[in-house]
Structure 1
Amino acid sequence: MRLTNYTDYSLRVLIYLALKRPGELANITEIAEAYSISRNHLTKVIHELGKMGVLHTVRGRGGGIKLALSPDEINIGEIVRKTEDDFNIVECFSEGSAHCAISPVCGLKHVLNRALFAYLAVLDEYTLADIIKSPFDYRSLLGMEE
């Protein structure tokens, strides 16, 4: 299973914001610089996370972004499901596009489907709080002030 950059960036944004002090705002530029990724990509990611209710955005001078929920309320599996565009890991998972000759009898589809559900079930076991067990190490690597 491979996650898209969109999901990867979404998770990175959430991790970064979880490392901030409660109520402290971050901005897109500082997150982009911390991870050395495009500010433009992050703008879209942050907008969508805000629409999901995971982030709170503050407009205007002195504005920024912060988590709208506590890290222990943000489930990793839920975020992955909401940020991935599809989980069609093989052609036969897509409706109406099964051109494989063995598709009607193939047992591999069922094995891969079980694997996908197991993958998501493991992600469902973790929250953002579980991911950032050693915040000092994360802050140090990301160049965040202590």
Structure 2
Amino acid sequence: MQLTHFTDLGIRVLMYLTYSRSEPVKISEIAEQFKVPRNHLIKVVNKLANLEWILTTRGRNGGLQLAVPPESITLATIIKALEECNQLIDCENALCRLRMGCQVKQYLDFGLKAFYDEMERYTLADSVTGQTGNKIIEMHVKYA
């Protein structure tokens, strides 16, 4: 399984926003920090805002802020919402001649459940501890 670039970027945006500072973070700052196209980042930010995980403020003094405590949201929750994936293959809509006698879907479903169960153990706060948290602070300091 490989996460989409959209999900990867969503997780990184949330991680970046865990660092609390007095002014909101600009989209252009995140785009520059992570070397991603601003237009793609806007789509990710809109999704995160719709999920009510970040606050967005328009205007000259606007920007982005984390809207939830980082310890209140698990990586499983984030990935499920951004990937919108509850199965790895869809045997009902696929024209597969093995559909009625194949065990692969069941095995993949077990594996996906195990993955999400493991990701349920870690929060956004957990993901920004240690060296990762230090790197995020360093990124903010360099940009300021």
TM over 0.5: yes
Q: Which amino acid aligns with 1:15?
A: M
Q: Which amino acid aligns with 1:96?
A: N
- C-alpha RMSD of the superposition: 1.6
Does 26-35 or 70-79 show the bigger shift? 70-79
What is the number of residues matched between the two proteins? 140
Q: 1:18-73: per-residue Cα shift (whole Å, max 9, x none)?
A: 1233x541011000111101111110111111111100112222111100011101
Task: Tell whether 2:9 aligns with 1:9.
Answer: yes
Q: Which amino acid aligns with 1:68?
A: A
**CA drift at 1:144:** 2.0
Task: Tell whether 2:105 aligns with 1:106.
Answer: no
Q: What TM-score, normalized by structure 2, do the two folds share?
A: 0.89
**CA drift at 1:121:** 0.9
**CA drift at 1:12:** 0.7
CA contact (8 A) 2:25 2:65 kept: yes
Distance 1:137 1:44 in 2: 25
**CA drift at 1:126:** 1.0
Q: What TM-score, normalized by structure 1, do the two folds share?
A: 0.87
SS at match of 2:140: coil
Distance 1:54 1:82 in 2: 11
- In the other structure, the counterpart of 1:51 is 50
1:136 aligned to which of 130, 134, 137: 134
Q: 1:92-132: per-residue Cα shift (whole Å, max 9, x none)?
A: 2xx322x2222201112111110010011111111100000
- In the other structure, the counterpart of 1:18 is 18
Task: Please give the residue correspondences for 1:77-116 in structure 2 after superposition, counting only pairs within 5 Å.
Answer: 77-92=76-91, 95-97=92-94, 99-116=95-112
Distance 2:59 2:23 in 1: 15
Task: Tell whether 2:39 aligns with 1:40.
Answer: yes
- In the other structure, the counterpart of 1:117 is 113
Consecutive unaligned residues in structure 2, runs of 5 or more: none
**CA drift at 1:88:** 4.0
